[in-house]
Chains A and B, each alone.
Chain A
Amino acid sequence: MSKKTLVEATINGETVEFLCEPRQSLLETLRDVLELTGSKEGCLTGDCGACTVLVEGRPVCSCLMLGVEAQGKNITTVEGLATNGVLSVLQNKFLEHAALQCGICTPGFLISAKSLLDRNPKPTEHDVRYALAGNLCRCTGYDKIVKAVLDAAAAIRSQGEGKAAAR
């Protein structure tokens, strides 16, 4: 075993310090060291996207990043989407549209979708399918997931308009 390294990172808005071995992926570190088990392990080869997290706002496969690389980085996992136990609009839309069955792929889809909506509040269906191309689902087919994301985008936009009107 190689010696453990002390890493400091911001995860879901909180500064955390943890010890990890350089051979451990960020995914292993999140799940086994930090007990953030929302991010899932599917393939470990970058193909399925179940392990997707945001690093500095950009989606990456946490199975293809080392835990030690998290040093000084800002990371968002699926655990960071709800606020004080209240699900985000996007999460609720996944439930409403039944955009999941077994749910293994869902954290990855939510993160990829969040990254899209953060960047592009008015995506087309094509934009959504493109942004989700690195996430695989063996259960639902993709239509419900795509509809959930488009509907979430619309809901977030009308919330924004509501707030603007109230001001």
Chain B
Amino acid sequence: MHAINYDAPTTLDQAVSILKTHGENARPFCGGTDIIIQLRAGVRRTEHLVDVKKIKELQVLSFDAKKGLRLGAAVPCIEISESDVMRRHYPGLTEAAHLIGSLQIQNRASVGGNLCNGSPAADTTPALIVLGARARIVGPNGEREVPVEAFVVSPGRTVLKPGELLVELLVPAPAPHSSDAYLRFIPRNEMDIAVVGVGAAVTLDGDKVKAARIALAAVGPTPILASKAADAIIGMKLDDAALEAAGRAASAACSPIDDMRGTAEFRLHITAVLTRRVLSIAAERAKKN
């Protein structure tokens, strides 16, 4: 790896001021599970790493039944998968965090870093999107909030401008009779990048769908909010016909590529299958809430 400088500020103000001073030449640094590999491989360059893990706002993990979840950008995935509160209220986001790498990786990798890395295949991003999560960003010009579905703009690029950092993810409290789920397809049991990932959140009114959100990973240049797939089931009973319709609409929202992990055609097929499955799981969970 080329020479770099390293800072580990303990406050947001310090972090923003260091990032501002170095502009394009600095990058936030969290668990390092993407950035260290990218720097070593020469696919990203930076002169200055600003470690954000010591800033307390970025380590918050708190749930309130009315206000919902505050998930600090630096909270490692292991804290999410080991949290009973997360498993109970956001099972889909929890299973997405739990899918990332091995225990070694989960002890370091953050959900914030998973999002900021900007990969279309990031597992936790669709899981955040279906929950209606917003990203709270702080930078030299103050604060702003961006819905997670608008955060990634192209592969590896996000809405973050030089000097800005992601502070936390704000997730609304789950509505009554609602829940979420996330599934991905990989050719082996563990430790691989999604060929397709599908997240869903469903709110039921009796046996009908009152509200739904479906989001897709690895089937386009960015994570995708498949609004038409959700529209296809609103007001409907989740029977086979409704699931089929949602699956078809989800495939139609994709613009996949052929690569070593799978062909575009295969991805379209798997998107429909996973959409049906993940909706059924989310709905089963929602019935119990």
Give the residue among A5, A45, A64 with the most B Cβ atoms within 10 A. Answer: A64
Name the residue on B nearest A68 (C-beta): B6
Which residues of A sit under 8 angstroms from B2, Cβ to Cβ?
A: 23
B-contact bits for A45-79, CB 8 A (1 contact / 0 none): 11101001001001111011110110100000000
B162 within 8 A of A: no
Residue from the list B32, B51, B78, B191 in contact with A64, Cβ < 8 A: B32
Contact A134 B103 (CB under 8 A): yes
Within 8 A of A (CB), among B90-131: 101-105, 107-108
Question: Counting CB contacts under 8 A, is B36 at the interface?
Answer: yes
A64 and B37 contacting across the interface, CB-CB below 8 Å = yes
Interface residues on A, range: 20 to 34
Across the interface, do B33 and A64 meet the contact criterion of CB distance under 8 Å?
yes
**Is B65 an interface position by the 8 A CB rule?**
no
User: In the complex, what distance in Å separates the CA atom of A44 from the CA atom of B32?
Assistant: 12
B40 at the interface (CB under 8 A from A): yes
Q: What per-residue 1/0 map shows which CB atoms of A102-142 lie under 8 Å from chain B?
A: 00000000001001000000000000001101110000000
A60-B107, A112-B103 are known contacts. Are A23 and B191 too (CB-CB below 8 A)? no
A1 adjacent to chain B (CB < 8 Å): yes
How far, in angstroms, from A69 to B33 measured CA to CA in the complex? 14
Which residues of B (21-62) have their CB < 8 Å from a CB of A?
31-33, 36-37, 39-40, 49, 51
Q: Tell me the A62-98 residues at the B interface (CB within 8 Å).
A: 63-66, 68-69, 71
Do A49 and B4 touch across chains, with their CB atoms under 8 A apart? no
B104 touches A60 (CB 8 A): yes
The answer to whether A22 and B6 touch across the interface, beta carbons within 8 angstroms, is: yes
Asked if B260 CB lies within 8 Å of chain A CBs, one says no
Query: In this complex, what residue of B is CB-closest to A3?
Result: B5
A61 and B40 CA atoms in complex are apart in Å by 15
Say how far B181's CB is from chain A's closest CB, in angstroms.
21
Chain A residues lying within 8 Å of B36, measured Cβ to Cβ, are 25, 63-66
Chain B residues lying within 8 Å of A63, measured Cβ to Cβ, are: 36
User: Are B107 and A22 in contact, with the CB atoms below 8 A?
Assistant: no
A134 touches B5 (CB 8 A): no
CB distance from B36 to the nearest CB of A (A): 5
Q: Which residues from chain B contact A66 at a C-beta distance below 8 Å?
A: 6, 32, 36, 49
Residues of A within 8 A of B190 (CB): 133
Find the A residue at minimum CB distance from B36.
Answer: A64
Bound complex: CA A44 to CA B40 (Å): 9
Residues of B within 8 A of A151 (CB): none
A21 adjacent to chain B (CB < 8 Å): yes
* Bound Cα distance A68, B49 (Å): 11
Complex interface: chain B residues within 8 A of A130 (CB): 103
Contacts of A25 in B (CB 8 A): 36
Q: Which A residues lie within 8 Å of B103 (CB)?
A: 59, 112, 115, 130-131, 133-134
Q: Is the CB of A49 within 8 A of B104?
A: yes
B108 touches A65 (CB 8 A): yes
Cross-chain contact of A61 among B3, B4, B78, B104 (Cβ < 8 A): B104
Residues of A within 8 A of B6 (CB): 5, 22, 66, 68
List the interface of chain B (C-beta within 8 A of A): 1-6, 8, 31-33, 36-37, 39-40, 49, 51, 78, 101-105, 107-108, 190-191
Q: What are 11 sample pairs from A and B whose C-beta atoms fall under 8 A apart?
A: A23-B3, A44-B37, A46-B33, A46-B104, A61-B104, A64-B32, A64-B108, A112-B103, A133-B102, A133-B103, A134-B105
